[in-house]
Amino acid sequence: MLLLLWNGLCATFSFAIFPFLVIGVTGGIVIGALPGLTATMGVAVLLPFTFGMEATRALVMLCGIYIGAIYGGSISAILLKTPGTPAAAATVLDGYELARKGEAAKALSVSAIASFVGGMVSTVMLITISPVLASFALRFGAPEYFALAVFGLSIIASISGKSPVKGLLAGMFGLLISTVGLDPVTSYPRFTFGQINLYNGFAIIPVLIGLFALAEAFVQMERIFEKAQAIDTRFKHGMVSLKETISLLPLMIKSALIGTFIGAIPGAGADIAAFVTYNEARRSSKRGNEFGTGCIEGVAAPEAGNNGVTGGAMVPLLTLGVPGDAVTAILLGALIIQGLQPGPLLFTKNADIVYGLFSSLLVGNVLMLLFGLLGVRLFCRVVELPKRIIIPVIVTLSIVGAYSMNNSIFDVWVCIGFGIIGYIMQKVDMPSSPIILAVILGPMAESNLRRAVLMYQGSYSFLWTRPIGVVFLALAALSLYSSYRRAHS
């Protein structure tokens, strides 16, 4: 295996492959940083360009885009409070606060390092124990997914800021939003008012951009003529120190492992992993109360977690031929177009390609770290621009982002609507991230609960007879309990 990996590494650095990896990673970072262009969309759009390419080259480029985009989302999340991809929604919580304190460089460098650690750990896991992970992932049936979603939803209590009641209300609102559209079992159009654009419910991207980016733009507009800026605009150019990095390393590795695990489960992706790792970092941190006010752990954990998904999601793809998330679903198509059959046979029949892929994931993560750290100063310039220039940029990118996901003016209106909702919520001290978490997890919770009840012919016994599910439900209770304790300590 080491020999194969060495051969793969040699191939990766060859002239035939390396430029494509560089293009993929840089392109991915740009795509990720632009709101509305997600990793999924980037890979899907560039897929046809790879039809004519040689197999390894095509896969390397697509994987480069994947890891680059998952990292790139954090750049705009930290600097503009606009998560470039849903995976970066959790990074906003502390990343943007750090930027407001003048520590954007620190947040950006930690995000690059954490994404690197996440990507590396998960790639190593992919290389070493993917068959084990894959067979575990297959044990996830509807009851387990339901329990996982409940566990994810319990995180709402921990990201609710000052007033848990308002956070939970926001979560309920998010869950109600997630029920809009065709019912997951019977296809009955719920709360659609005859509007077919609502049949698939509210798309997550416009909601995300509205709640974060537009709402923030409105708040900033209000303050545009204020003479004395409340925010510290003196910019501290310091990146994170080596000492701090080392102290964050255990947290990053733990988050990366959680991310890998979540990525390996088909249907659970980087967005969920980011919130779960954020929650776990907060639960286990000594200064959990400071989360949400600009805590560097609050950037390190979700970023290691969401990039941890990249390797994890490849596990079921390569070993079972089943995609681990939306991006790997497209990669599956790319593999098949290249005449490769993902599954156990791939490792024996096309070992060179598989190990070429592994080694370019390793090298790609190094490149991502390099570009990320080199880019910090450049990215930081954004914060130094006057607000009167930044706001029009944010508004323009928000609208384009909301539109281009589904080429839909309707989505742009949704985005503006949620911009207004987010603005009012800021006014009344209501956190908006619970809505995002609920919109991501609500459909997963509902459809799997209903599937499970159908499977058990109307009985709810799966809630206590399925061991993995019981573990997640227990974790949910633990998560709620620890938020409760923190609120009352």
Partner 1 sequence: MKKANYCVAIVFILLSGFVFFQVSGFQQTLIADDYVGAAFFPELLAWGTIVLAVLLGWLNFRNKFQEDSRSLSDLFPKEILTALEGLTVLCAYVLLLEPLGFILATIALNIALLLLFRVRSLITMAVFPVSISVIVYLVFCKVLVVPLPEGLFYF
Partner 2 sequence: MKKLVLALALILAVCGCAAFAADFPTKNIKLLVPFAAGGGTDAVARALASAAEKHLGQPVVVMNKAGGSGAVGMTEGATSKPDGYTVTMITREIAWLPQMGLAQITPDNFDLIALANEDPAIMLVQPDSKFKSVKDVLDAAKAAPGTVKFGSTAKPNFYLLALELNQKVKFSQIPYNGAAEAIPALMGGHVEFSMVNPGEAISQITSGQLKPLGVCSDKRMAGLPDVPTMTELGYPIVTGTWRGLAVPKGTPDAVKAVLGAAFQKAVAEPDFVAFMKGRTLGIRFMNAKDFKAFVDSDVKALTEIVEEVKKQQQK
Shortest Å, Cβ 75 to partner 1: 15
- 465 contributes a contact to partner 2 by CB under 8 A: no
- C-alpha span between 95 and 78 (Å, rounded): 5
Which residues face 23 on adjacent strands?
none
Task: Give whichever of 217 and 256 is closer to partner 1, judged by the CB atom.
Answer: 217
Shortest Å, Cβ 270 to partner 1: 20
Name the segment binding partner 2 (CB under 8 A); options: 118-126, 131-139, 298-306, 358-366.
Answer: 131-139
- 385 contributes a contact to partner 1 by CB under 8 A: no
Name the segment binding partner 2 (CB under 8 A); options: 28-36, 58-66, 88-96, 185-193.
Answer: 185-193
How many CB atoms neighbour CB 406 within 10 A? 15
Name the segment binding partner 2 (CB under 8 A); options: 4-12, 280-288, 392-400, 452-460.
Answer: 452-460
Binds partner 2 by CB under 8 A, chosen from 30, 138, 169, 351? 138
Interface of this chain with partner 2, residues 140 to 169, rule: CB under 8 A: 140-142
- 13 contributes a contact to partner 1 by CB under 8 A: no
- Interacting partner of 79 out of partner 2, partner 1, none (Cβ under 5 to 8 A depending on kind): none
Task: Give whichever of 285 and 406 is closer to partner 1, judged by the CB atom.
Answer: 406
By CB under 8 A, the count of residues binding partner 1 is 63
- 69 contributes a contact to partner 1 by CB under 8 A: no
- 131 contributes a contact to partner 2 by CB under 8 A: no
Interface of this chain with partner 1, residues 25 to 44, rule: CB under 8 A: 30-31, 34, 37, 41-42
Interface of this chain with partner 1, residues 223 to 252, rule: CB under 8 A: 223-225
Based on C-alpha coordinates, what's the Rg of the chain? 22
Binds partner 2 by CB under 8 A, chosen from 288, 316, 431, 442? 316
- Interacting partner of 141 out of partner 1, partner 2, none (Cβ under 5 to 8 A depending on kind): partner 2
Task: Give whichever of 176 and 351 is closer to partner 1, judged by the CB atom.
Answer: 176
- C-alpha span between 97 and 91 (Å, rounded): 10
- Interacting partner of 253 out of partner 1, partner 2, none (Cβ under 5 to 8 A depending on kind): none
Which residues face 190 on adjacent strands?
181
